[in-house]
Amino acid sequence: MKRTLLSLLALSALAASASAADIIAQWNFNSPVPDNSSSTGTNTPSVGSGSAALVGGVSQSYVAGSTVDAGAGTDNSAWSTSAYPGQGTGNKTAGVEFRLSTVGYETLVISWDQRTSATGTRYTRLQYSVDGTTFLDGPAITHTTGGGQWSSQSASLAAFSGVENNPNFAFRLVAEFESTATGAGADSYAAAQSGSSYGTGGTLRYDLVTISGSTATGNLPPTISSLTNQTIRVNGSITDQPITIGDTETPVGDLTLSASSSNPDLVPVNAISFSGEGESRTFSLTPTFFASGTATITIIVTDGGGKTSSSSFVLNVLPENTAPTLSNSFTNYHTLKDVALAAITFTIGDNENLPEELEVFATSSNPAVIPDANIVLGGTGAERTVTITPASGQIGNAVITISVSDLVLTTNRSFHVMVVPSASVVFNEPFDYADGAVTTNSANLWNTHSGIFGQSQISSGVLNLLSSQTEDINARLIGSPFATSSGTTLYASFVVNFSGLPNEAADYFAHFREVGGAFRGRVFVSTTNSTAGTFRLGIANNNANITNAVTLEGDLALNVDHLVVISYDVASGVSTLWVNPTSESSPSATATDNPSPAAIVSFAFRQSTNIGSLRVDNLKIATTLADVVTLTPAARLTITHAGNNVQISWPASATDEGFSLRQAFNLDQPVNWLPIDAGVERIGDRDMVTLPASVGNAFFQLVK
C-alpha cells in the first residue's frame, strides 16, 4: 500500500506542474509519419502551431536526436545546422528562427536540447521580436559541451515586455562573438570545446524546442530602460547611473528595485544601492576592493502583482595593468618551397601604453624550416606586419608565435605555416612538434571533431593512436574543398607501426572527411584471416562496418614500419589501398561498397576501442601518386638472339635498386619462377645475362 500511495503522490505533483505551465508549441523534428529514419524530419511543430526556419545562410539536415526524446524510438530526429559565418564575420546574424502566437499566455519560458560540435560556436544569443520584424537581444547562451554531448538549455522571457499575449511573437538563436556575449574577449567566435578552433562546418543540433507559459491574468509586467556595458579600473565605482521604470497597473512609486550579480565575489549584491523616486531612479555599485574581472549585473523591477522585468549589463573591472592586445586575425598558412608568404597584417594595443611603446617579437618552433631570422616584423603604431620566408630548399612545418609585451605582461598568438614541395601537394605532415597534444602543439592545424580533447599525443615526432582513447582529429587540406566536379583524385600516404593488435571486431583509424563531416576512404585494421600475431588492412568507400570493407591480402607484422597509401577519386567516390607499394601496379584493394561521392575538405585519424595501438608518421596528401610515394620506374627487358644463345638485358639502375632476373617455362598457376644463376655483365648503362637457347617457351621477369 505504501508503494502505491507514493506513486499517486508523484502523479499528483506532475499534474500540478502541468497545470501551472502549458506547452504553447513544441518542435521535436521527427517525421510526422514515422519512417524509422533519423535522417528525415519536419520543421512543423509537433505540439501547437508555428514555424521554424533558417536565417543568415545557415544550412540544415536531420540527424539522430536527443536521448530525452525516447518515445520516438528509431525515428528520433534532431535539426542539425551548419555553414555558419566565417571567423570574425556576421555576428548575431545566422542561426534558427521560430514564430508562434502567445495570445492568452504569460510567464513564458523557452527550453530546448542542444548538441554543439567541438568547432561550433560556444556562444549564441537568444533574440526576441514583438512585431515579427525587429529582433532584440535576450540572454546570451553558453555551450561548453562540444564534442557530441547533448545538454538542456532554457531561458525565461518574464522580464521582456511585449512578448506575452502577442500574436506576432518570434525568437531566434544566433551565433555570437565572444566579446559581445561576455563583455570581454575577442571580436570573433569561440569554439564550444576548449582548445579547438571555431569552424564554419561546426554543427549546432536542436531538439525538443519548447515554449511554455501560464494562462494570462491581465496584469502586464513593468517596464525598465536598457543599460549599457561598462568598464572601470580596479578600486573604482559606478555612481548614480540613471534608469527609468514604469507600469500600467501599479503606481510608479510603489514599484520596487532589486539586483543580482553573476560574480558576487567581484560585486556582492549588497554593494548595489538604489536612489531616486517615481519613474526616475539611479543605482550605484562598488566592486570588492582590489578585485578585478567581469560580472553581469541585472537590475530587476517588480510591480504590485509580482510581475518583473529586468535589464542587464556587463561590468568589466580592469586590474591596474592589463596585458597588451594582439589581434586574433591569424589563420594557418602555406607556401611553396623557396617562396616567401605575403605580408600578414595584425594589430596591437594596450590600455596603459602607446602602441609604439610595446615590444613585438616572433619565434619559430622549427628553425630548420623557418629560421627566426626569416620572420621579419614591420609596420608602426597599432598596425603591424610580419613577412615569413622559408629556409632555402626546405619543406616541412613550423609553428610561428607572435608576441607583444609591455615589459611586464605579454600576449602571444600562434599559427601554423606549411611549406610544400609543389602545388600538387595539398598536405605535408612530418609530426615534428614538441611532445604533447597534437591539436595544441600544431597551433590547431589539427582539430578535434569528436571525443575527448587533447588525447591525441605527439611523442618523439610521431602521432600515437590508442584503443583506450576517443579523440578523433582532422586537418584541412590546402585548396579544399575538392568538389566532385573537380576531376581530382586525392592520394594519401603515411607510415604506420602497430605495437598492439586490434580487437577481433576491427575498426577504421584513418579516412578522408567531406564537407558535411561524413567519412570517405576509410582504412580498416583487422586480424581476420591473418596468422597469429599479425594483422591486415582494408578499405571502404564510406561504410563504417568492416564486413563491407575489402581487405588487402598479406599479413603485416607488429613493430614494423609499413607504408600505407590510399587514393580517393572525388568524382566517383571510389577508394583504393596499397601497403608498401613501389608502383601503382603493386598489389592493391579497391573498395566495393556504395561510393556516394562527396566533396573532400580534410584528412582525419580516429581512435576507438578496436584499433589496437599504433604510431603514425610522415603523412603526405597530393593530387598525384608520385608526390606521396617513391615509385620505381618500369624496367623493360630486352631479349635478343646471339648465335646459339639468348641475351636478356635491362637498365643497370634496376639492378642497383635491388631487382634481379628470374625465369619460368610456363605460366600455369601457380607460376614456378626460378632464379637465374648466370653471371650479370654490365655494359654501359645496361646489365645483361647470356643463356643457351632452348626449344620451347621461356618467360623472364625482374623482381625485387
Is residue 10 scored above 80 in pLDDT? no
pLDDT at 636: 78
pLDDT > 70: percent of the chain = 95
- Phi, psi values for residue 4, rounded to 5°: -65, -40
Spatial contact of 620 and 609, defined as CB atoms under 8 Å apart: no
The CA distance from 42 to 62, in Å, is 8
How many other β-carbons are positioned within 10 Å of the β-carbon of residue 131?
A: 11
pLDDT at 148: 66
Q: Which amino acid is at 172?
A: R
Closest to 430 in 3D by CA, of 518, 369, 509: 369
- For 325-420, CATH gives 2.60.40.10
| Residue-wise pLDDT tens digits, 606-641 | 999 999 999 999 999 999 999 999 876 666 788 888
Is residue 348 scored above 50 in pLDDT? yes
Q: Give, in order, the Cα–Cα distances in Å from 127 to each of 130, 178, 276.
A: 10, 16, 31
pLDDT at 72: 58
Judged by average pLDDT, the poorest of 12-21, 196-205, 444-453 is: 12-21
pLDDT at 484: 95
Is residue 55 scored above 90 in pLDDT? yes
Domain 2-215 has CATH 3.30.559.30: no
The CA distance from 497 to 258, in Å, is 65
Q: Which residues pair with 417 in a beta bridge?
A: 333, 398
Closest to 478 in 3D by CA, of 433, 520, 417, 411: 417
Spatial contact of 628 and 620, defined as CB atoms under 8 Å apart: yes
Mean pLDDT for 347-374 is 96
Peptide bond before 670: cis, by omega within 30 degrees of 0? Answer: yes
| Residue-wise pLDDT tens digits, 396-434 | 999 999 999 999 999 999 999 999 999 999 999 999 999
pLDDT at 108: 93
| Residue-wise pLDDT tens digits, 272-286 | 999 999 999 999 999
Domains 223-318 and 325-420 share a fold: yes
pLDDT at 145: 65
Is residue 250 scored above 80 in pLDDT? yes
Domain 223-318 has CATH 3.90.400.10: no
Q: Is the pTM of this model over 0.85?
A: no
| Residue-wise pLDDT tens digits, 325-334 | 999 889 999 9
pLDDT at 544: 85
How many other β-carbons are positioned within 10 Å of the β-carbon of residue 584?
A: 15
Mean pLDDT for 454-483 is 95
Closest to 523 in 3D by CA, of 608, 629, 425, 624: 608
H or E element that contains 181 = helix 178-182
Q: CATH says 434-627 is which class? A: mainly beta
- Phi, psi values for residue 691, rounded to 5°: -125, 150
> In which band, very low, low, confident or very high, does the pLDDT at 488 lie, cut at 50, 70 and 90?
very high
Domains of the chain by residue range: 2-215, 223-318, 325-420, 434-627, 638-703
Is residue 18 scored above 60 in pLDDT? no
| Residue-wise pLDDT tens digits, 547-589 | 889 999 999 999 999 999 999 999 999 999 999 997 888 899 9
Spatial contact of 375 and 362, defined as CB atoms under 8 Å apart: yes
pLDDT at 7: 27
Is residue 216 scored above 90 in pLDDT? no
> In which band, very low, low, confident or very high, does the pLDDT at 166 lie, cut at 50, 70 and 90?
very high
> In which band, very low, low, confident or very high, does the pLDDT at 384 lie, cut at 50, 70 and 90?
very high
The CA distance from 155 to 172, in Å, is 12
- Phi, psi values for residue 495, rounded to 5°: -95, 130
Spatial contact of 273 and 239, defined as CB atoms under 8 Å apart: no
